[in-house]
C-alpha cells in the first residue's frame, strides 16, 4: 500500500483554503483589537468555523476514497483499521 495521502493530488487547493482561513482568523483578531461589535465578530467566527468544516469534510472524503479504499483492497484487517480511524475522526468533528 502506498503512503501518499488522499489529499496529495489537491494539496495546493487545501493549502490555499487554509491560508484563506488563516487570513480570516487574523481579521478576527483585528476586529477584537478594534472593539468591533460582538455580533459582527460572532458572524465572522461562524464563517471561519464553516470554512474549517468544509476543509475537514474535504479531507475526510479524500481519506475515505483513497486511504480506506486502498486499505480495504489490501485486506480486511487493514480496511477495518482505516474505517475505525475514519469513524473516530468523524466523532471528533461532530463533537467539535
Q: What is the pLDDT of residue 85?
A: 93
Task: Show the domains of the chain with their CATH numbers.
Answer: 8-95 (1.20.58.1000)
| Spatial contact of 59 and 85, defined as CB atoms under 8 Å apart | no
| Spatial contact of 66 and 76, defined as CB atoms under 8 Å apart | no
Q: What is the pLDDT of residue 3?
A: 55
Q: Which pLDDT tens digits describe the chain residue by residue (96 residues)?
A: 445 777 888 899 999 999 999 999 999 999 999 999 999 999 999 999 999 999 999 999 999 999 999 999 999 999 999 999 999 999 999 997
Amino acid at each position: 500500500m502506498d503512503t501518499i495521502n488522499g489529499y496529495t493530488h489537491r494539496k495546493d487547493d487545501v493549502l490555499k483554503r487554509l491560508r484563506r482561513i488563516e487570513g480570516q482568523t487574523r481579521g478576527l483578531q483585528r476586529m477584537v483589537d478594534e472593539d468591533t461589535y460582538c455580533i459582527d465578530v460572532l458572524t465572522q467566527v461562524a464563517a471561519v468555523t464553516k470554512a474549517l468544516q468544509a476543509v475537514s469534510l474535504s479531507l475526510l472524503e479524500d481519506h475515505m476514497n483513497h486511504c480506506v479504499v486502498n486499505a480495504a483492497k489490501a485486506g480486511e484487517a487493514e480496511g477495518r483499521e482505516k474505517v475505525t480511524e475514519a469513524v473516530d475522526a468523524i466523532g471528533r468533528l461532530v463533537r467539535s
